[in-house]
A and B are shown apart, each in its own frame.
Chain A
Amino acid sequence: MIRLARKVRVFRRAAQTCPGACVIGLLILAASVTPVKALRQTIRQAGSAQASDASSLSPTAKASLDAALVALQSNALAEAERQARAAVNASPRSAITHNVLGVVLDRSGRSEQAFGEFSTAIKLDPNFVSARNNLGRMFAEHGKTAEAIAEFERVLKSDPTHVQAHYNLGALYSDAGDFARAAEHFARAREADPNDPQLALAFLTVAYRANRTQQADAAADLVERASGTDEKSLFTLARALAESKQYERAARLFAHVNELMPHNYEVLYDLGIALYNLDRNAEAARFLSEAADLNPGPPETHFRLALIASALNDHANSVLEFKHAIERDPKSANSHFLLAREYSRIGYWDGAIQENTKAIEINPKEAAYVYARANADYRKGEWTAAAADFDRAAELDPKIENIEYLRGYAHRAAGDFEKAREILEKFVATHPDHVDALSSLGYVAIEQGRLDEAEAPLKHALQLSPDEVPVLYDYARLALKRREYPEAVARLEKVISKLPTLTQAHYQLFLAYSRLKQADKAQLELAEFKRLEALEKQVEKERIIDEKLRTQQLMGQNP
């Protein structure tokens, strides 16, 4: 059986309101985002590591370097470059001057030249950790993760307590999904300043995933305390918690942010999603519906509302919201597929077939869509279409549970008995105790007039499940076809004792009694057959009216 994952986490990354959503990226860029402070620190670190290098700077180089840093602080990048180049010219063998020039070039967006300057700095002083750190950061930014990791590891060889290297390694390992290592590096980074909320935030995002829950909780406490009533910080923390599946706490924080900053789409959306993940659907709907009213654009809000409505058995709203999601993102096969599922839930098979068809058009290779359409075809009574779809679903994913049986059954229903026989025989060879398949095999044999061959599968099915009415019924029909009327009567009486409302069994019993010349009993069965048949016709009539009304409601009315 194909099942949809119940929860599909859809967390929108919205940089404009979420400085924390890109925690990793931001921290990798830390050196260039806060250049002056960082560079002063870098220089200080470098100075302390290579005192001779710092002291070897000429007075001209020192003056230019200071001027470059001041210019960089005020974002006067051209001036900063001029001064940094002057410093390099004055002290061309100084790693520090090349490093500073590299930072200026990097800030100016000239990555390749920056690479060159950092590399030169490292050649001049292989133990210059700040240059290595900057080089590693640039590798990371250019997607060269292995090279970046190697650089940061080299930094740590020279300075095992280097905060930024630990930090950056934590970020890179986190990106690679190695949360245990990431947590270890972030933890080492935090040793320098255990009360730094930014470091704590980075740590907790990976620590939860590395099952260091207690430490992660402590870090979250710290960040929450440090955030006070700053809604952006709280929001960032809440998002980090939600991404770490700490929905309870995330929901509480999102709710707090919502009080501080009401009617904000992002906050409402994330609060709704956190509540949804906590199975608090009614509350989730409250916030998501406000989000959707505030900003009807994003399809995922409607998609999520549709899922919630579906979970609450609110079919009308579910259908409407899936439609809204599709209007905004018509290429979402999943939305079509789930709308089809919703139609199936309310027995609107035409709609289900139509939407599954759209999903298949978008993604023809997805077995789940084809399988779902096959089911809808089947329920609609479109046997041939169902058989074709089950065949296709089996091609796409042969591991769908019992798919071969379903194929066989659909071909049986479509009247293609030879194909059904071929499929079912193969299936039974590997599933010798599958009652339904045995039953179908017996049925097909009866329909093909292979009466002797029908006996064995039906008998075996009855040994496995003696009370299975469809099997008992076919077993009775077999006796009737073989003109074994007393046996047929006995078997049919048994069927009727188990399911007195099985209309066709009364008809078969009428036939059997007639053959046995038991007119009174035959007439009684015929009367019962007619009574039940009339009832069935009435039900059929009501079913048609009902389907018509349902279709009208779905096509023409809003809930």
Chain B
Amino acid sequence: MSIRPVAGFLFALACFQVAAGQSSAPQSKERSHVERFSTPEVRAEKAEAEANAQLAANSNDDAALNRRALARLRLGRNAEAFEDLRRAVLLKPWNSDYQANLGYVLWKLGKPQEAVSAERAAVKLDEKNTAAHYQLGRFLVRLGDGKDLSEAIAQLRRSLELDPRQYDVRFELVAAYRELGNLAEAAAQVDVLQDARPTDARVFYVTGLLDADRHDLNSALKNFNEAITRDPSLYGAWQDLGLAYGKANRWEDAARTFAELAQRQPNSIEATYFHALALYNSGKPAEAEAEVRRALRLDAGAVEAHTLLGIILASRGNANSEAADALSQAIALSPNSVDAQFYLGRVQYAMKDYAGSVKSLRAAVKLNPGHSEARFFLGTVLELTGDSDAAMTEYQELLKRDPDSLMGQLGLGALLVKQGKIDEALVALNRAVTLDQKEFEAHWALGRALALKERYAEAVDSFQKAVALAPTRAEAHYQLGLALKRLGRTQEANREFATVEKLNTEFRTNNSPK
């Protein structure tokens, strides 16, 4: 999960800027209240009607075509707007404004490269075209190509030089500098915005984004909360607030935030997915399952939602088959989904489909070689398939990447025990318990190794730590009992065997505490 740059709302604002910035001339006389307070849509309808009348008189009136295009853009009729601008450009190919507006409509029509070309052409025609510089910069930021960021910043800065009052340009600059990791420049822009727009919700939002970049989650949470209080329709801030809560491990707050966002945007797949994720992480799997299924109803092809559904179903313990199906669907949709591959591997392991599990886990490790959990699982499953050498390679790789990897030391130690290399195993397992004294498996495996070396007193110590960490693990009690017996502590040993019997009975009768 990552905190995303400012997105949608700037886009909408830009649209307004284009339409307003180029269609209105300075007026000395105060306009009527109705004019000033009419919605942009009403103004656009009026502008379109006026342009229609002008075009009825002269179908080659390029200015009217341009005005009508802007009106139609505001009304969401992008294809018609494009047609008008195309004609305007044909009539006056040297007009920079028409080119710039054509670029904007191309962007809206999902033709980013053509949009960029049009804006470049507009800048070439008129180096002082503020909107063209702005839009070119904005598009380059959004296209996300790192090598274009410097140019994007230069364009945005030029636009600002030409008209310093364009606060939206500063928001874009913040996004661009954040992408570049230049937090000082981003903060400088936020400073100006804080001064010029001290109560603007967006300013609190971008301040929060910078806080999050600096890993100052408390300040980020404060600013995101302030942003949504001031403007509850700032959906990006809601989402980043939820994500920040998640990062701070405050999943209940995250769930509450995403619940609100999902209510405000009932058809948003992102809001629904994050709500489901937060619910799951806050220990509400049933609600999470219902919500993630709703996400899939909104978008049956949502990879993350399929993955999450698979994870939730797998955690249920009685729906592995459906879980595998959900995760397989996620992989079919996006074979590069590390999470889907990893969790599918785990589910296949639980279903004893070791070959399938190895395949999935290998895919996960290939996609993300640093995914230590996936590699550890891969080693474990390879051991189960009898391929100890391959398993050993994985554990060694874990340790190569991080000598302090608990999973690496544990996997290696346990495998060495199996291979009878007890002295080497003891080194690895002792390291493992040092790395995490609360890890049952490490104490348990160390106890086994010590028992095999007939160092029963130390083995008892390890097994006692293991059963303290996991009192319901019958095998640990059993091994503890055996070690105690070897030491002649029969009474204590018998108590452990009785515990084993009790746990086994409970397991058979399904009475074990949940």
Query: What is the interface of chain A, defined by CB distance below 8 A to chain B?
Result: 282, 285-286, 288-290, 292-293, 305, 308-309, 313, 317, 320, 344-347, 379, 467, 498-501, 531-532, 535-536, 538-539, 542-543, 545-547, 549-550, 553, 557-559
State which of B26-34, B60-68, B301-309, B388-396 sits at the interface with chain A. Answer: B26-34
Complex contact B199–A305 (CB within 8 A) = no
Given contacts A313-B231, A345-B200, A558-B27, 16 further A-B contacts (CB under 8 A): A286-B34, A289-B34, A309-B37, A345-B199, A346-B196, A347-B197, A499-B216, A500-B184, A501-B184, A535-B188, A538-B188, A543-B195, A547-B195, A547-B196, A550-B196, A557-B26
**Cβ of A99 to closest chain B Cβ, rounded Å:** 55
Binding site for A on B (CB under 8 A): 26-34, 36-39, 164-165, 183-185, 187-188, 191-192, 195-200, 214, 216, 218, 231
Q: Which residues of A contact B214 (CB under 8 A)?
A: 498-500
Dominant secondary structure of chain B at its interface with chain A: loop
Given A345-B198, A543-B192, A305 and B37 contact (CB-CB distance below 8 Å): yes
Q: Which of B29, B164, B192, B231 has the most CB of A within 10 A?
A: B192
Once the chains bind, are A546 and B165 in contact (CB under 8 Å)?
Answer: yes
Q: How far is the CA of A309 from the CA of B200 in the complex (A)?
A: 14
Closest to A499 in B: B214
CB-based contact B33/A536 at 8 Å? no
B218: min CB distance to chain A, Å: 7
Cβ B184 vs Cβ A317 within 8 A: no
Complex contact A285–B37 (CB within 8 A): yes
Chain A residue numbers with a CB within 8 Å of B195 are 347, 543, 546-547
Interface-centre pick from B30, B33, B36, B188 (highest chain A CB count, 10 A): B33
Q: Closest 8 CB pairs between A and B? A: A289-B33, A289-B37, A345-B199, A292-B33, A285-B37, A501-B184, A539-B188, A558-B30
Chain A residue numbers with a CB within 8 Å of B183 are 500-501
| A550 contacts B188, C-beta separation under 8 Å | no
8 Å CB contact of A467 from B38, B196, B218: B218
Contact across chains for B184 and A344 when beta carbons are under 8 A apart? no
Selected from B32, B192, B198, the residue in CB contact (under 8 A) with A542 is B192
14 contacts between A and B (CB under 8 A): A285-B37, A286-B38, A288-B33, A292-B33, A308-B37, A320-B30, A344-B199, A347-B197, A532-B184, A539-B191, A546-B196, A550-B196, A553-B165, A557-B26
Contacts of B26 in A (CB 8 A): 557
A532 → chain B closest CB, angstroms: 6
Q: Known: A499-B214, A549-B164. Is A290-B199 also a contact (CB below 8 A)?
A: no
CA of A549 to CA of B192, assembled, Å: 13
Taking a contact as CB atoms under 8 Å apart, the answer to whether B198 and A379 are in contact is yes
**Residues in B neighbouring A535, C-beta threshold 8 A:** 184-185, 188
A317 to B38, CA, bound (A): 11
How many Å from the CB of A258 to the closest CB on chain B? 14
Q: Is the CB of A305 within 8 A of B33?
A: yes
**Cβ-closest chain A residue relative to B36:** A317
Select one of A309, A501, A547 contacting B187, CB under 8 A.
A501
Given the interface pairs A535-B184, A546-B165, the reply to whether A293 lies near B33 with Cβ below 8 Å is yes
Closest-by-CB residue of B relative to A553 is B165
Q: How far is the CA of A220 from the CA of B396 in the complex (A)?
A: 81
- Distance, CA A439 to CA B197, complexed state (A): 27
The answer to whether B39 and A282 touch across the interface, beta carbons within 8 angstroms, is yes
- With most chain B CB atoms within 10 A of its CB, the pick from A313, A549, A553 is A313
Q: Which residues of B contact A499 (CB under 8 A)?
A: 214, 216
C-alpha gap A313/B37 in the complex (Å):
12
Chain A residue numbers with a CB within 8 Å of B198 are 344-347, 379
Chain A residue at minimum C-beta to C-beta distance from B217: A467
Q: B185 — which chain A residues lie within 8 A by C-beta?
A: 535
In the complex, what residues of A have CB within 8 A of residue B216's CB? 467, 498-499
- Give bound CA distance, A559 to B29, whole Å: 10
* Cα A500 to Cα B210 with chains together (Å): 12
Q: Which residues of A contact B200 (CB under 8 A)?
A: 313, 345
CB nearest neighbor in B for A283: B39
Q: Are A549 and B36 in contact (CB under 8 A)?
A: no
Q: Which residues of A contact B34 (CB under 8 A)?
A: 286, 289-290, 293
The answer to whether B33 and A290 have CB atoms under 8 Å apart is: yes
Q: Are A289 and B196 in contact (CB under 8 A)?
A: no
Among B29, B188, B199, which residue has its beta carbon within 8 angstroms of that of A536? B188
Report the separation of the CA atoms of residues A550 and B164 in the bound assembly, to the nearest whole angstrom: 10
In the complex, A293 Cα to B37 Cα: how many Å? 11
CA–CA, A538 and B29, complex, Å: 37
Smallest CB gap from A549: residue in B: B165
